[in-house]
Every structure is written in C-alpha cells, then in structure tokens.
Structure 1
C-alpha cells in the first residue's frame, strides 16, 4: 500500500518542478508557494513537514507551481511583496519592488534627518507606492509626501497600500513632475530605465510602461532632469535609480541641466553604478 504524500514530499516535488523553470531560487519559491497553498507560516510549514498533505492542498499547490513555471513572478502569485520591512500589495499593474530600490528610501531618510522644517518630497513613478509610503512611515508623516504615476491602476494599488499601512501620501495622476504647481525639496525617482532590447522572460509579466523608456532607456529620466531646475527648491536634491550602463548619460544630462549642483553616481551593494545623486545649492 502506497504511503500518503507528506508536506515534505510535496515541497521536494515543487523544488524539482521549479528547478527546470525560470525561477532563480527554486527552493525558496517552492517553499513560499507551499506556505501560500497551506495558509501556513514558515514555522508552521516546517513543523508540518512529516504530516500527510490534504489532496485539496496538493491540487492548489500544483496550480500555483504552474503559474510560476509560466514565468509569473512570485509576488504576483501571492499578491504581496516585502519592501523596507513592510508588506505591500502588488499585482500586474505595478512593478515588483526590488531590494536595490530601498536605497532611495535610505537616502531620503538620511537627507530629511538634516532638515529642521517640514519638506515637500515627491516620488515620481510611484507604482505600488513602496518608496513614498516607506518614507512617510519612517518619518511619521512629518513631511509632505507626494507621489505620482501615469497609470490610474497603479495609483489604485498605491492608495490601497497607503491605507493598509497607515501612511499619509498625496497621490496624483500625472506625468513626471509637469503637474507640480509648487516646487519641492526632494525628488525621488525609480522610473522605467530599460531599452527594448533588454527584454527577457524574467520580466515579461510586469507592465511594459513600468520597464521601458525609449531606445536608450533614459528618455524619462532625461525629461525629469530637464524639468528639475524649475521644480526644485534651492538646496533641494534628486536621487534616481539607473541602469548601470547609463552612468555617462546620467552625468551628462545632470550637468547640462543643473551645472552648479553637486552631482555624483553611487554604487549599489553589488558595486554597480546604480544611482544618480544631485544636490543643489
């Protein structure tokens, strides 16, 4: 008589299945999806490893595995993504927040810490609202936090996240910073920065509007830098995320539009030229 399949057996099956797919972390993905299917925490999952698995749970799990094999990101399957210690709602209308983007939050917090008066801060291309909401939460909403996006669907996700996490953020449907009626002290931007030829299977399910920006991938950041002198207060700053290949493009555009500012390219934890920092006088 065949013994019943255990939770451990099912986890091994999931890992084998994902090892042959687009997943770069099959073991972790298999575990996350099994926790989702069982409605279990990590601790509960490991406690249950020797236990027989319910047939309905196995069926549910294999459906989730099929989505991952098809290339759908884990965050879209579960509907959640952790960013800067907070859990955000995500779906196919927004880019999945990446760990390297947390640096924009860290920069903003350090910069705002030096200010005695409340500042006006804008997160351009907010998507899920991860950057704006994290800054608002970490500063106890001491500053005026604005966040914009061209996608009403993305703004709906961002507004839901702000409500769920208790953050005070003003969301605006608008392109870049054209809509700003008053200047701001700090511009945060993680805009689309990929070229069309950089498309690959790992990102095919994420919204193209949140990924690509013209033939050189820099068109949106270039336009933002052109508008920045008219939208940034004296002593204000800009921090934006880049494709490391755009180092020279970023420096050239920044120097052309803000020639008297302090301009610097900063590396991410992997040593890649990932961020453009501008500090005006």
Structure 2
C-alpha cells in the first residue's frame, strides 16, 4: 500500500510519504517532471542516491532531513533549476559544479562531445584545442579527461563563469585545461593555430527570450543565452573568424539552435571549410555543425 501524501508540517513522515507530498506539490505548479525532481532533491537533501530512496522507502526522516528537503522543494516551486539547488549536474558521466553563474549543462551538448570524439578519434592524440564560451567548463574538461595528452584552452567573457570552470577543473583533475578570460578569439590572438575549435555559444534570438521555460528565463545567465536579433551573432563571428585560428587539417564543431544549422553550414562553406556535417539531437533537431579545414 502506498503511503499517503502528508503536509510538510507533519512531524513524522517516511521517505515515500515525503516523495508523494513533494511530487503532488510540484505537479500542482506545473513542474514538468515532478516525481523525478522530488527524488533528485530528496536524494540531495539526504546525501544519498535515488536507488537508496527506494530501498529505504519506509524509513522515517529526521527533523533536520525534513527541513533540508522542504527548503529544496520551496526553491523548486519558484522554478529554480534542480541543478542549481543541488549545486551539481552530471555531464558525460562526470559531476560538474553548477550555479547561477553558468548555464546548466544539457544532454544535447553531450552530442557535441560525441561528435568531436567520433570525428577526431584516438585518445592517444596530443592535440591543442580551443573551447569558446566554456561556461562551467564541461566541454573542455570532458575532452581533456578523454584525451589526457591534449591541451585545451577554455575561453569565456564572464569572470564569474570562469570561477566555476576553475572549480570544476580542480574537482575533476583536468590539469591540461587552461582558462582564459575574454570575448571569443581575443584571448588567443597570436597563438599558434589550433587542431580543434569547439563552441556552445549563446544562440537564442532576442525575440525568443520571453518564450523560454521559466527555469531558464528567470534563473540562467542572460549573457550565456542571448545572441542578437536572430540568435546568430556569436555563431557567425566564430565561423567567419575560425580559419585564422584553425590549422590546416584542423576540426571545428559548434552547437546551434533550432533552424540555425543551414545558415551556419553556409558560413562554413563561405570560408572554405570542408567535410561539413550536421548532427541531430535526441529530438531530431539539427544541433551540431562540424567541419574540417583543408
């Protein structure tokens, strides 16, 4: 028999009862995945795993545990992202620190990493790569861990975002990542050409900001989202300038928004990048555009 949902003011309640209360509370507020969010938040509050919640479903929670969980649920009611409440987000099998200084890493960005690994190949390569708009550092750090002998330069215009990236670099032992502050290619002017350029830049059009989910619109950093009237400003700058910073035989891959891939492909062709490939995400949106410089 399932435990009945209870009021958070009730002093004695089990793990399952707490989950049912939180699930119903979040559902009433039109949260998309109320049960999943409730489980993740309770696991965070108890410093345990979601599997352990199932195994201990009938355990009675301590008052301090209840208080922590209720505080998490109250924050989620406001549509604050679960990743910000928990202070971390898994990306490519690793846990990254995240907060309101950086975007929450998305599953579709893992496809960007997959594309780079698939098209470049061996982990024994000693390359020099550049990650633009690094944010939390999830792309650069993931590639650095997959390729231990490669050096990755990670650039962001936001000093506060770089603070988060630095914490993740230390947290995940990515000693082959170099963090640089500045706008796109400016910090690497005069550097030798790179073997790899990768970027997940801002690509939301100004007019579309109001239509974003409240979780994104109200909490994630505007600087990392908006990119001009059509959302293409940063993507165009990256593609047009990339040949100056990419060696012959080098590879570039960028994440793009819905409906932007063909435009990015045209820019790549205009600067004579070749072997252009468009990769779809899990919802069949053209999400990654990649190419070689010959």
Shorter-chain TM range is over 0.9
Q: 1:241 aligns with which of 225, 234, 255?
A: 255
CA–CA separation in structure 2 for the residues paired with 1:123 and 1:39 = 33
Q: Which moved more, 1:177-186 or 1:258-267?
A: 258-267
1:33 corresponding residue in structure 2: 41
| Residues 112 and 119 in structure 1, CA contact (< 8 A), matched pair in contact too | no
Partner SS for 1:244: coil
Q: Displacement of 1:3 after TM fit?
A: 9.4
Q: Displacement of 1:179 after TM fit?
A: 2.3
CA–CA separation in structure 2 for the residues paired with 1:33 and 1:239 = 34
Give the paired residue count: 278
Q: Displacement of 1:225 after TM fit?
A: 1.0
1:220 corresponding residue in structure 2: 234
- Does residue 14 (structure 1) correspond to residue 22 (structure 2)? The answer is yes
Unaligned runs of 5+ in 1: none
| Residues 272 and 293 in structure 2, CA contact (< 8 A), matched pair in contact too | no
| Residues 22 and 202 in structure 1, CA contact (< 8 A), matched pair in contact too | no
| Residues 129 and 195 in structure 2, CA contact (< 8 A), matched pair in contact too | yes
Q: 1:75 aligns with which of 80, 83, 103?
A: 83
Change (3 A) 1:3 1:232: closer
Q: Displacement of 1:35 after TM fit?
A: 1.3
| Residues 247 and 265 in structure 1, CA contact (< 8 A), matched pair in contact too | yes
CA–CA separation in structure 1 for the residues paired with 2:136 and 2:62 = 35
1:163 corresponding residue in structure 2: 170
- Does residue 187 (structure 1) correspond to residue 197 (structure 2)? The answer is yes
Question: 1:1-281 to 2 correspondence within 5 Å?
Answer: 4-113=12-121, 118-139=126-147, 141-168=148-175, 169-180=177-188, 181-199=191-209, 200=212, 201-204=214-217, 205-256=219-270, 258-259=271-272, 261-281=274-294
Q: Displacement of 1:260 after TM fit?
A: 5.1
Change (3 A) 1:150 1:271: same
Once the two structures are superposed, what CA deviation does each residue of 1:16-47 show, in whole Å capped at 9, x if it has no partner?
Answer: 01112352211010011111222222233223
- The TM-score with structure 2 as length reference comes to 0.89
Unaligned runs of 5+ in 2: 1-9
Change (3 A) 1:55 1:100: same
Q: Displacement of 1:254 after TM fit?
A: 1.6
RMSD: 1.8
